[in-house]
A and B are shown apart, each in its own frame.
Chain A
Amino acid sequence: MLHMIPGDPVSIALGPRATPEIQAAYAAKMHLDKPLIYQFLIFMGNVLQGDLGADVFSDRSVTTTMAEQLPFTVTLAVSAIGWAALVGIPLGCLSALKPNTWLDRFTGVLSVGTIAIPSFLVSIWAILLFSVTLRWMPVIGAGESGNILDQVHHLILPAFAVGLGWVGYLARMVRASMLEVMGENYIRSARAFGLRSRTIIFRYALKVAILPTITLIGIGFGSLLSGAVFAEIIFSRPGIGKLIYDMVLSRNFPVIQGAVLVTVGLYVFVTLIADLVVSWLDPRVRDSL
């Protein structure tokens, strides 16, 4: 795909004024003077030996770069999905337990609103309000390494911006599942046996209704690994998304290939974990495995 982007990668990477010698050295270093299939085989051969290659400009190992950048993206994704789940799941439950009331309608409008607003807009508004006007929150960076308090302080706005849309998704998903589950025969039976509402909701209904939400959280986490790019750019946070964006602009192929491979691997891993959690919670799924 990268090779299909118009333009000579050497000219783009080095700028228009690089001498022919610099261009030739760069092309050789990136194996651009070899056929595409050969380049792919070199990359895959190195990957199988645990070598993701080296940054074309700085010569740093791509593996080292990944190891440095990945924790920032994972932290941001976990924080964003985490707070979204903490707010979205109870909102969805409340909405389902009081259907067609003002609370349900308010939650519906709120959910659709949060889904509809792009995260980059939320980022900018949040910066203008909390950083520029009130000066409560920092705008750029990920905080001093080793200073947990500072890092958390730098995480609040990006996590808020990235997670806001997921509040709506999760609330709508939980509401729909809960409504379906609350109409099931075993819930009616539980009511007929005189169980308390709290027991019915938390012990029987939510346990089943939450299952599709867990799958959604898994998918959401995966998509945030690369989807956090807006927040990472606007807040100048290190991370995989921003790394890929910067490297695509400079056509630094080894880093792009390494970052995409790691992101895809992580996505598969997270989806697998979500499926395992669902099977652990749901005997029907477990038995079918």
Chain B
Amino acid sequence: MSINGLSRRALLQSIAFGSALSVASSIPGISFSASGGKLTVRFNRDMDSLDPGYYVGGHPDNDVNWCCMPALVHYDYVDGMAVWAKSPFVDRVEVVSPTRIEFKLKSGLMWSNGYGELTSEDVAFSYDRMAQSEWKGDYVAYDRTEIADKYSGALILKQAFAPFMTQTLSSGTGVIISKKATEAVGGKFTNDVPATCGPYVMEWKQGQYVRMTRNPEWTGTKPQYDEIYCPIVTEDSAAALAYEAGELDVAQISSDTYARYLKQVPADSKLTVAGALQYMWLGMNIDNPKMKDIRVRQAIQHAVDVSAINQGAYSGTAELSSGIVCPGLVGKRNQTGYSYDPAKAKALLDEAGVSGLSLTLRTLNNQERILASTIIQANLAAIGIAVEIMPLDSGPFWEMGQESKGDTWKDMEIWLMRYGSGPDPYGAFQWFVRDQVGIWNWERWSSDEFEKLYVELVAVSEAEERHKIAIRMQEIMEETGAYVFLTHEPEVFVHRDNISPRFAPSGETMLSYFKA
């Protein structure tokens, strides 16, 4: 017997399945996530502040702002390279000259709480304010915004600044805020955002979760998910367990978990590397008497087995580094001028007439760094250098090379260091210019050629030319002998295989672009 082609058995099975589904859905803890309705995403930490002018920056503040606040441009990818692309808030963004960026906002995009429409006046207010804010360093080249009409205008730069689109406007500091709403709350806010405008509206419970639901006033392209629920899970292993228990759809994972998942990915899951904008190196203080002779520094470059560090400390999950420009960026170097060669290292030490050298290796006291330090200790012992490892808490570690914090910099010999970069090579090089000696350039070298190239890198916008400049700058760094480039640690996410995610190159989620 059949009803309109549906057999009795099939009908009963459908009813039974539907009933089971509805009963199961009502049981707490059992949810059918990533089905187009609700997406559950781990946030590693709580929000600090959503005000782009006065926030701490990074995850999860950017993740939330990109869902709930306007911007002219967002990150996108072309052939694996991070690029800027116009956001859903604009009809047009165009770099018409190295110092002029024109834009036209979409009409009818409304701020919440009755603050009216998103206008070019909000754009001008936001970026003028950024140029005066705690993040004014990102706006060093910004001059003003010319308002053409209610929706159109142009950003005017004082000088050509190639990173402006990818480093400044695409990142969290490019977020636009409502002029009227911000002025109404006294010019600053934190997590009680006075007016939002975006595909989602946000609810926040401190220390617990951020929940984003569709903005009923949003007239732009509809995002995939009705609700994005982001529990704050600070502990990496707890996040991995929660993912395996089915409570999370997307979670950033640690290198340990990444190595485990590479052997066996959890069922119905995929791993996505969002970026690897970290660069780690072994640094040497060229002003320290023990490290003055470049042949000693070059000996250390040849003595350190970088592959062994990657295997031992990062389970082989990091990308080996050849410079400070990270994978996926213009200027990424693929090879160093030195290689692991203990015999050559020993010969260089002999040539320098150095024997019985003992050095102190300073490092942050986390598991990976200690493992890496131990391997370096063994590598250098093989060429006759005795290394004592000095693990440090983050406080003393981050101030040891700064002249303003005391005289520790004078005693520094070698250390393990890792910096994060933006999606433009400028973000990495800015810490090694002459002005940074004794601040963040702890190796304490400087070079006229490097300074000149740095100015060119910032001004030139042509990718091929910038690539050549960045390569040469890294060669100069290597030639000082003060660096053994080690690894680029990846930002890795595990997610259900029916989800197509998008991430910023710095590892934040761009949740309104997630697709099922």
Please report A residues at the B interface, Cβ cutoff 8 Å: 5-9, 11-12, 14-17, 19, 21-22, 25, 57-60, 65, 68-69, 124, 127-128, 131-132, 135-145, 147, 149-150, 153-154, 233-236, 238, 242-243, 246
Contacts and interface: CB of A to CB of B under 8 A. Distances in A.
A39 B380 CA distance: 47
Given A131-B245, A136-B29, 19 more contacts: A5-B395, A6-B395, A8-B398, A9-B395, A12-B395, A22-B134, A138-B28, A140-B247, A140-B248, A142-B208, A153-B28, A153-B29, A154-B28, A154-B29, A234-B238, A236-B232, A236-B234, A238-B205, A242-B234
Contact of B231 (A59, A69, A236): A236
A65 B207 CA distance: 9
Nearest to B417: A16
B28 A139 contact: no
Contacts of A11: 394-395, 398-399
In the A-B complex, the 9 residue pairs with the closest CB atoms: A7-B395, A150-B28, A57-B48, A131-B245, A138-B29, A139-B242, A236-B233, A22-B134, A16-B398
B206 A60 contact: yes
Contacts of A12: 394-395, 398
Given A132-B241, A246-B46, A246-B207, A147 B28 contact: yes
B164 interface: no
A58 B28 contact: no
B372 to A, nearest CB: 19
Contacts of A19: 134, 137
B245 A132 contact: yes
B246 interface: yes
Contact of B191 (A60, A131, A242): A60
Nearest to A24: B134
Nearest to A9: B395
Given A57-B190, A127-B245, A246-B234, A141 B209 contact: yes
A246 B28 CA distance: 28
A68 B47 CA distance: 16
25 contacts: A6-B396, A7-B393, A7-B395, A7-B398, A8-B405, A11-B398, A11-B399, A25-B134, A58-B190, A59-B49, A68-B207, A69-B206, A69-B207, A124-B237, A131-B247, A139-B241, A140-B238, A141-B231, A143-B28, A147-B28, A234-B235, A236-B232, A236-B242, A238-B207, A246-B207
Contacts of B205: 68, 145, 238
A140 B29 contact: no
Interface in B135-154: 136-137
A127 B242 CA distance: 9
Interface string B184-216: 000000110000000000000111110000000
A147 B28 CA distance: 9
Contacts of B405: 8
A142 B231 CA distance: 10
A139 B29 CA distance: 9
B386 interface: no
B242 to A, nearest CB: 4
Q: Main SS of the interface on chain B?
A: loop
A124 B241 CA distance: 9
Contacts of B246: 135
Contact of B29 (A57, A58, A68, A137): A137
A16 B405 CA distance: 13
Contact of A139 (B137, B238, B397): B238
Range of interface residues on B (Cβ < 8 Å): 35 or more
B244 interface: yes
A59 B237 CA distance: 30
Interface of B: 28-30, 45-49, 56, 134, 136-137, 190-191, 205-209, 231-235, 237-239, 241-242, 244-248, 393-399, 405, 440
A96 B341 CA distance: 72
B241 A128 contact: yes
Contacts of B394: 7, 11-12
Contact of B28 (A6, A145, A149, A235): A149
A92 to B, nearest CB: 34
B245 to A, nearest CB: 4
A69 to B, nearest CB: 6
Contact of B234 (A59, A138, A149, A233): A233
B49 A57 contact: yes
A160 B112 CA distance: 44
A238 B241 CA distance: 18
Contacts of B206: 58, 60, 65, 68-69, 238
Contacts of A144: 28
Contacts of B245: 127, 131-132, 135, 138-139
Max chain A C-beta neighbours (<10 A), residue from B191, B245, B246: B245
Nearest to A69: B207
Contacts of A14: 56
Contacts of B45: 246
A204 B264 CA distance: 61
Given A16-B398, A57-B56, A147-B28, A138 B247 contact: yes
Nearest to A142: B208
A235 B207 contact: no
B56 A15 contact: yes
Nearest to A143: B28
A59 to B, nearest CB: 5
Contacts of A131: 241-242, 245, 247
A12 B246 CA distance: 34
B209 to A, nearest CB: 7
Given A5-B395, A57-B56, A57-B190, A243 B29 contact: no
A144 B229 CA distance: 11
A8 B238 contact: no
B208 A238 contact: yes
Nearest to A22: B134
A8 B47 CA distance: 22
A168 B244 CA distance: 32
B25 to A, nearest CB: 13
B191 A233 contact: no
B422 to A, nearest CB: 11
A122 to B, nearest CB: 14
Contacts of B28: 138, 143-144, 147, 149-150, 153-154
Nearest to A130: B245
Nearest to B30: A135
Contacts of A233: 234-235, 238
Contacts of B234: 233, 236, 242, 246
Contacts of A68: 205-207
B479 to A, nearest CB: 26
A14 B396 CA distance: 14
Max chain A C-beta neighbours (<10 A), residue from B45, B136, B233: B233
Contacts of A65: 206-207
Contacts of A5: 393, 395
A188 B162 CA distance: 93
Given A7-B395, A57-B190, A69-B207, A140 B242 contact: yes
